Amino acid sequence: MKKALLLAAALAVTTSASAAGKLEIFSWWSGDEGPALEALIKLYKQKYPAVTVDNATVSGGAGTNAKAVLKTRMLGGTPPDSFQAHAGQELIGTWVVAGRMEDLSSLFKSEGWDKVFPKDLVKLISQGGKPWSVPVNVHRSNVMWYNPAKLKAWGVTAPKTWPEFLKTCSTLKAKGVAAPLVVGENWTQQHLWESVMIGTLGSANWENLWAGKLKFTDPKVVGAFTTFGKVMDCANKDASGLSWQQASDRIIDGTSAFNVMGDWAAGYFTTTKKLAPNTGFGWAPAPGTTKTFVMLADSFGLPKGAKDRAEAINWLKVLGSKAGQDAFNPLKGSIAARTDSDLSKYNTYSKSAAADWKSNKIVGSMVHGAVAPESFTSAFGAIIDQFVASKNSAAAAAAAQQLAVRAGISK
């Protein structure tokens, strides 16, 4: 009880008038995603001008490089003041279970976030009935991007199922499109695998997979691996050398027809490439996933032992505020985690995503840490690499099942 009172008192005194000192923010947002983070930092500096902000960004690999650095710092007892993590099992299964994060229940109560964040999202970021991070956004994983003008010229439309995609792939190859699908480095191939799995298995079986009710060795899952192999046969051969942005560029210039990527691509298209939705770029749910919203959320937590704890708490307040989320998300290409965002600030794509967020079946992303612990996600890339090289569905499924058992997902 005494500890709770002390935490509440600390939260109460962290006002703009009293805040001073330093704040280290640790994330993997750089390059084309940098402007969205800078918008949050600008808002923070307006509220707390006496604080010096250290934007400690480690770029590359959808956070892979940053997570490696973070692990060294956390285990070494020198945590950043606040750090980015995908909401859900990525944070909970790694740092919350290790007892290295602070419970944010008091902050959620004082800021009223339990009333403006969807219950399903709060459940995702909670363990033991306590929230452990502040979600700043919601992204959609299962989006297929294309260039509307090029599809019209080729005489094709966005496929609605993966079998239809394979037929479209053959049509495009016959028209001289060498790689109808473009993918990038390993994590983008895992990202594609996720949409193929959900589009083939269905959302219920996807949830059963991570609840331990469906094994990777089930014939349905093995068959979905086979479909993924056929889809990859439509892709470019230089994937390992491309970032996700470089893969997206091939949609814009018409080298390839389709790319499956999260809706941070919308931020890239609009903010960096200055393209207009529906004309400069188009989108559709990944094949087989209509009426399904595969979600992930970026969030920040408060590690125990943070050097600038008061400043970090104020950072979390900015992240969870309506002003913060409406400054960040239009630039990031994501939608607000809050349900009371000002949609007039968002572009056509984001408005459509917000509508789907409210009406679609919501399932969590594996690749981006929502439904699987890092002990699984960090090792799964090797299975995808081996599968892409061999196209051995049974072997890949067996390896994934062994990994799921080791990670405590399945028995």
Q: Tell me which of 4 and 277 has the higher pLDDT.
A: 277
Please give the structure tokens belonging to residue 39.
């918008």
HEC letters along the chain:
CHHHHHHHHHHHHCCCCCCCEEEEEEECCCHHHHHHHHHHHHHHHHHCCCEEEEEEECCCHHHHHHHHHHHHHHHCCCCCCEEEEECCHHHHHHHHCCCCECCCHHHHHHHCHHHHCCHHHHHHCEECCEECCEECCEEECCEEEECHHHHHHHCCCCCCCHHHHHHHHHHHHHCCCCCCECCCCHHHHHHHHHHHHHHHHCHHHHHHHHCCCCCCCCHHHHHHHHHHHHHHCCECCCHHHCCHHHHHHHHHCCCCCEEECCCHHHHHHHHHCCCCECCCEEEEECCCCCCEEEEECEEEECECCCCCHHHHHHHHHHHHCHHHHHHHHHHHCCECCCCCCCHHHCCHHHHHHHHHHHHCEEEECCCCCCCCCHHHHHHHHHHHHHHHHHCCHHHHHHHHHHHHHHCCCCC
Look at residue 32 in the predicted model and tell me its pLDDT. 78
CATH topology of domain 143-294+366-407: D-Maltodextrin-Binding Protein; domain 2 (3.40.190)
Look at residue 6 in the predicted model and tell me its pLDDT. 46
Q: Tell me: pLDDT of 3 over 50.
A: no
pTM for this predicted structure: 0.82
Look at residue 147 in the predicted model and tell me its pLDDT. 98
Q: Tell me: pLDDT of 11 over 60.
A: no
pLDDT tens per residue across span 95-131:
999 999 999 999 999 999 999 998 888 988 998 999 9
Region 353-374 average pLDDT: 90
Q: How confident is the model at residue 358 (pLDDT cuts 50, 70, 90)?
A: confident
Region 15-44 average pLDDT: 84
Say how far apart CA 240 and CA 189 lie, in whole Å: 9
Are 277 and 266 within 8 A, CB to CB?
Answer: yes
Say how far apart CA 31 and CA 37 lie, in whole Å: 10
Counted residue by residue, the chain has a size of: 411
Look at residue 9 in the predicted model and tell me its pLDDT. 45
Look at residue 61 in the predicted model and tell me its pLDDT. 63
Among candidates 5, 119, 32, 29, which has minimal Cα distance to 319?
Answer: 29
Look at residue 207 in the predicted model and tell me its pLDDT. 92
Region 328-357 average pLDDT: 91
Look at residue 20 in the predicted model and tell me its pLDDT. 62
Are 398 and 217 within 8 A, CB to CB?
Answer: yes
CATH 3.40.190.10 is held by the domain 22-138+296-360: yes
Q: How confident is the model at residue 62 (pLDDT cuts 50, 70, 90)?
A: low
Region 336-346 average pLDDT: 92
Region 45-67 average pLDDT: 90
Region 50-62 average pLDDT: 88
- Is it true that 22-138+296-360 and 143-294+366-407 share their CATH fold? yes
Q: Tell me: pLDDT of 16 over 60.
A: no
What is the percentage of the chain residues whose pLDDT exceeds 70? 95
pLDDT tens per residue across span 192-212:
999 999 999 999 999 999 999
pLDDT tens per residue across span 266-323:
989 988 999 999 999 999 999 999 999 999 999 999 999 999 999 999 999 999 999 9
Domain boundaries in the chain? 22-138+296-360, 143-294+366-407
Look at residue 387 in the predicted model and tell me its pLDDT. 98
Other CB atoms within a 10 A radius of the CB of residue 155 amount to 9
Q: Tell me: pLDDT of 187 over 90.
A: yes
Region 362-366 average pLDDT: 91
Please give the structure tokens belonging to residue 334.
């994501």
Q: How confident is the model at residue 181 (pLDDT cuts 50, 70, 90)?
A: very high
